[in-house]
Amino acid sequence: MTNKKNGNIDSAINPKLDGDAHVAWAQAWSSISPETSLLAWVDWASHLANSPGKQAELLAFAASLSEQWMAVLKKNPANPDRGATAPDRSPVNDRRFNDPAWDQWPYDLFRSSFVNQTKWWEQATQGVWGVDPKHQRLLAFGAKQWLEMLSPANAAVFNPVVLKRTIAEQGANLAACRT
């Protein structure tokens, strides 16, 4: 409906239309604002892009983590140099990896990859100059959630405890999950 005076749409319709759109948007995103997450990411990424010192710190940290990962990789049974001493494994403060089966190859490689990625992202999301503290917390939380979703402990094919149980129970443990 148009207003004869100025030709604009009737102002009584706008709030209702906006309200309906906002309700639909909130339902689509489970009441979590994607704009807030986007703003946090842009804040972090733009400040990181303008922080060569932090970038150098992250690059050096990635190199250190890569060296640790390569030491685990050298334990590969197919590696002729596997007689080399195993690297000192820093304690993993995650009960999902407490089973000794996680110390065997290739599961130690999966665990090491996950732990190193977690450490890198913790470092990357902290201490970037200029990032709003709320954005920093939101970004750190989001990165942790994505990493946790990709944990090798959450995928049966990468989890030695689940594989051992699946073999012992001839798959009954997996079938029980479907009920």
| pLDDT tens readout for residues 85-107 | 554 555 578 889 999 999 988 89
Secondary structure of residue 21 in the 3-state scheme = helix
Kindly list the domain boundaries of the chain, sorted by start residue.
Answer: 1-32, 34-176
Which has more confidence, 9 or 120?
A: 120
If pLDDT is split at 50, 70 and 90, which confidence band does 127 have?
A: very high
Helices (H), the chain: 13-28, 34-49, 52-73, 107-124, 133-149, 160-168, 172-176
Averaged confidence pLDDT in the chain:
85
If pLDDT is split at 50, 70 and 90, which confidence band does 120 have?
A: very high
Structure tokens given for 88: 């000192």
Output the CA torsion sign for 67, 88, 146, 42. Answer: negative
Give every CB contact of residue 82 below 8 A, 6+ residues apart in sequence. Answer: 74, 75, 76
Q: How far is CA 105 from the centre of its chain?
A: 23
| Rounded Cα gap, residues 62 and 93, in angstroms | 20
If you ran DSSP here, which 8-state letter would residue 126 be given? S
pLDDT of residue 58: 97
If pLDDT is split at 50, 70 and 90, which confidence band does 175 have?
A: confident
pLDDT of residue 93: 81
Give every CB contact of residue 176 below 8 A, 6+ residues apart in sequence. Answer: none
Whether cis (ω within 30° of 0) applies to the bond prior to 106 is yes
pLDDT of residue 159: 94
Mean pLDDT, rounded, for 28-56: 92
pLDDT of residue 73: 83
Mean pLDDT, rounded, for 116-138: 96
